[in-house]
Amino acid sequence: MAFAAVTSSTSMSTSFSSFEQTKVSQLGLYQPLDRAQSLSTVINVSRKRVAVKPLNAQPKRNDSVVVAASTVLSPGEIAEVVEKVEVEVEDYEKLAKDLENASPLEIMDKALEKFGNDIAIAFSGAEDVALIEYAHLTGRPFRVFSLDTGRLNPETYQLFDAVEKQYGIHIEYMFPDAVEVQALVRTKGLFSFYEDGHQECCRVRKVRPLRRALKGLRAWVTGQRKDQSPGTRSEIPVVQVDPVFEGLEGGPGSLVKWNPVANVQGTDIWKFLRAMNVPVNSLHAQGYISIGCEPCTRPVLPGQHEREGRWWWEDATAKECGLHKGNIKEENVNGNGTGAVKANGEATVTDIFNSQHVVSLSRQGIENLIKLEDRKETWLVVLYAPWCQFCQAMEGSYMELAEKLAGTGVKVAKFQADGDQKAFAQKELQLGSFPTILFYPKHSSRAVKYPSEKRDVESLLAFVNALR
């Protein structure tokens, strides 16, 4: 009866959908507590706020918030329930701002305090071992899980063992589904990721096991840092509602993601690991920085960015294995430029790279350029979309570069390659993702694609000087 009364309410029927009713009745899980949590979801979805409710909030919960299964609510009573539930909801955007300058230890302590046994640290076997040390330092109990893809280096397994012994913990290993791995390997071989990209293999060996792990949690802790990938991780908050995965209660907003070292530099992580005598992966001593699966990780050279050691055969903006794909902005994945153009075709984003030293190439202009076998000057061309945050981020350095190269025999240019031009740019100009930077030598029609994520003036200049 009460169930019918609640679902007949306009706002509540939205969240407690017939799908959920079916799911609940199939699983036989319907309890008053579940209902209260669903109500909090309604409130937050309708007000565009966060819907996650920490575990340790439950004992403090005002029992009047939990509606008895036999109670029929009037609209006035429903409004009262809504108001009371809303008070308990955390605003994670605000919390992220409040904790922006907090230390990793403070952030970890807050995360463990709020979520107790419903939070776990995701440990990859690299320098994110720092998270385990921070959790240990809080003095609170903590859980750790790891994804054993079946393709890790022996050194990583040795680190797992050392960490378990050092902290007296059992890492909760997650394994891929054997049938799925079998199907992938039997049809495409052991190294299909070199042929058609890492996404499919990562989906089977990492993302799905991760999804299963997270379905048993209300929050997780990651070792993501802003400085790890200028392409995909430059805007990570210290805490956020997970934009991709679902937690224990299911649905959008049911999982919180903590990134306690988001604002910490890699060098400072290493100072901390050394100072605290934390066991580390012996691959680091061989030049590895970011460590994943053996076939997809390689050491980097001095000065190379750490993400250049991961999936090095792919474009920079695709370098997320799916575990943190919320970091990749939709526009950069699709590159369709729809965000920059209204329905009537009018541009909504101001153009970028506007400088007297940067030549703006039309479609005809760049077609002429790529046909020339013998150019008077060398050319550096950026393929860009004005709405792309990574293009915007390199605007200053590219214009400074253009100024430095003025009069040197190197022309610096731009070509807007989104929207109608995208298919042409993908086919003829090696466009993978924005921005793509091409160098056209004097005596060759073949362009050389800039391979690095580092887009500061010095790096770009070194690239030009190496080829001119």
CA angle 140, 124, 286 (to 5 degrees): 120
321 is catalytic: no
Q: Please, which residue, 209 or 386, has the CB nearer to ligand SF4?
A: 209
Looking at 288-296, 344-352, 397-405, 459-467, which segment touches ligand SF4 (CB under 6 A)?
288-296
Inter-residue contact 436 to 422 (CB < 8 Å): no
Report how far residue 338's alpha carbon sits from residue 357's, in angstroms, rounded to the nearest whole number.
28
Site residue total, ligand SF4 (CB under 6 A):
13
Residue numbers 365-404 binding ligand SF4 by CB under 6 A: none
Per CB under 6 A, which region of 211-219, 290-298, 393-401, 447-455 contacts ligand SF4? 290-298
- Asked whether position 321 contacts ligand SF4 by CB under 6 A, the answer is yes
By C-beta, is 12 or 184 nearer to ligand SF4? Answer: 184
318 binds ligand SF4 (CB under 6 A): no
Of the two residues 184 and 429, which places its CB atom closer to ligand SF4 in the complex? 184
What is the bridge-based pairing of β-strands 119-122 and 219-221?
parallel
Q: How far is CA 373 from CA 378, 391, 440, 447, 456, in A?
A: 11, 29, 10, 11, 30
The single-letter code of the amino acid at 314 is E
Task: Beginning with the edge strand found earlier in the chain, give each strand of the sheet holding 219-221 in spatial order.
Answer: 172-174, 144-147, 119-122, 219-221, 256-258, 239-241
**Smallest gap, in angstroms, from Cβ of residue 463 to ligand SF4?**
27
Q: Which stretch binds ligand SF4 (CB under 6 A): 57-65, 291-299, 334-342, 459-467?
A: 291-299
CA distances to 178, 182, 205, 424 from 150, in Å: 10, 12, 8, 40
Shortest Cβ 152–ligand SF4 spacing (Å) = 8
Q: Which is nearer to ligand SF4, 182 or 362 (CB)?
A: 182
**Least Cβ distance, residue 189 to ligand SF4 (angstroms):** 12
- Residue 116 CA neighbour count, 13 Å, CB half: 8
Q: Between 192 and 430, name the residue whose CB sits nearer to ligand SF4.
A: 192
The DSSP annotation for 297-351 comes to B----TTS-GGGGBSTTS-GGG---STTGGGS-HHHHH---GGGB-TTS-B-S--
**For strand 448-449 and strand 410-416, is the pairing parallel, antiparallel, or unpaired?**
unpaired
For residue 372, the surrounding DSSP H or E stretch is none
**Minimum Å distance from CB 171 to ligand SF4?**
18
> Measured from the CB atom, is 49 or 205 closer to ligand SF4?
205
Torsions phi, psi for 119 (to 5 deg): -125, 150
Q: Which of 251, 266, 295, 419 binds ligand SF4 (CB under 6 A)?
A: 295
Residue 305 as a binder of ligand SF4 (CB under 6 A): the answer is no
The whole-angstrom separation of Cα 214 and Cα 374 is: 57
260/292 with CB nearer ligand SF4? 292
* Chain residues 245-284 in contact with ligand SF4, contact rule CB under 6 A: none
Interaction of residue 292 with ligand SF4, rule CB under 6 A: yes
Q: Which of 202, 293, 321, 391 is labelled catalytic?
A: 391
Q: Which is nearer to ligand SF4, 147 or 219 (CB)?
A: 147
Q: Does 291 bind ligand SF4 (CB under 6 A)?
A: no
Choice from 269, 296, 369, 412 touching ligand SF4 (CB under 6 A): 296
Burial of 186 (0-12, 13-18, 19+ CB in 10 A): exposed
Binding of residue 231 to ligand SF4 (CB under 6 A): no
Helices and strands (H and E) in the chain: how many:
20, 11
344 token code pair? 């009537």
293 binds ligand SF4 (CB under 6 A): yes
With contacts defined by CB under 6 A, name the span among 120-128, 287-295, 389-397, 402-410 that binds ligand SF4: 287-295
Within 149-208, which residues bind ligand SF4 (CB under 6 A)?
Answer: 149, 151, 193, 198, 201-202, 205-206
Range 53-112, binding ligand SF4 (CB under 6 A): none
Length of the chain: 468
Say which residues have a Cβ less than 8 Å from residue 322's Cβ, sequence separation at least 6. 199, 202, 203, 206, 207, 210
Shortest Cβ 205–ligand SF4 spacing (Å): 4
* Contact indicator for 119, 217 with CB cutoff of 8 Å: yes
Position with the least CB separation from ligand SF4: 293
**Structure-token pair, residue 88:** 């308990």
388 part of the active site: yes
- Residues with a catalytic annotation lie at 388, 391
- Residues in contact with ligand SF4 by CB under 6 A are 149, 151, 193, 198, 201-202, 205-206, 292-293, 295-296, 321
